[in-house]
Amino acid sequence: MRRETQNLLLLLLGGALLKIALGGSYLRYVKPSLFPWLVAAGVIMIGLAAFAIVSDIRSGGVGNHEHGSRSPWMLLLPVFAIFLIAPPALGADSVTRDRVAAPPPKESLFPDLPPEQAPLLSLSEFVTRVIWDDSGALNGRAVRLQGFVVHPTPGSTQLARMRISCCAADAAPVKVDLAAAAQAAELPADTWIEVTGKLRPGTATEANDYVPTLDALLIRPIPAPQDTYEY
């Protein structure tokens, strides 16, 4: 690869990193805590490219004129993809492809549920409590859950979120089956909703991959959050 091509590639990669970081779309791929590292990496790459370009101009160098393979230009495709067609956050399609989700790690002690009539819980907390909390604190208790609609099979509806440890590459779905949810059944996959409902005890078993059932009492559409993942 010619020196000019190397500098251009480095400049574009740095610009792509800054674009997704400062534009907020980096949340589709990595955790919020990695934001400073993305910005730093982008600035360093742009700085190195700019330094190399200025040095070449001052020295009158023109780089390697040997005829090279066209394959290095393929490295630009991911950069153009970020600038032109940024991949969306993982959604319903990722849930239906991953049918088996291991139960979350066991926690030794759960805090009391918030005192309000229908507290808002993350899907991860709700499912963790269902699987590991033997106190029955969720039995008969209305809760609110937020996530996107999934239709794993015709006639069935789930509420789901993607949970990540570091980045989208290690994402795993957290799912809840929705019962008595005729309204949700009519919504397209990936529609974001808030569901108020009650746990149907005994529904999260090894046979169904520890997916509990929620009897829906109220469903309302909501805007998709800026950060669609749970951690």
CA 229 to chain centre: 4
Residue 148, pLDDT > 90, answer yes
Q: What is residue 168's predicted lDDT score, i.e. its pLDDT?
A: 84
Contact 94, 173 (CB under 8 A): yes
| Segment among 29-33, 80-84, 154-158, 202-206 with least mean pLDDT | 80-84
**pLDDT by residue (tens digit) across 78-101?**
666 565 555 666 777 767 665 544
Answer whether 215's CB lies under 8 Å from 149's CB.
no
| Sequence-separated (6 or more) residues with CB below 8 Å from residue 69 | none
CA pair distance 160, 147, nearest whole angstrom: 5
What whole-number distance in Å separates Cα of residue 28 and Cα of residue 22? 13
Task: Check whether 24 has a pLDDT greater than 60.
Answer: yes
* pLDDT at 66 > cutoff 60: no
Q: What is the DSSP string of 10-70?
A: HHHHHHHHHHHHHTSGGGGTB-GGGHHHHHHHHHHHHHHHHHHHHHHHHHT-----S---S
Beta strands 158-163 and 229-230, pairing class: parallel
Name the pLDDT band for 134 (thresholds 50, 70, 90). Answer: confident
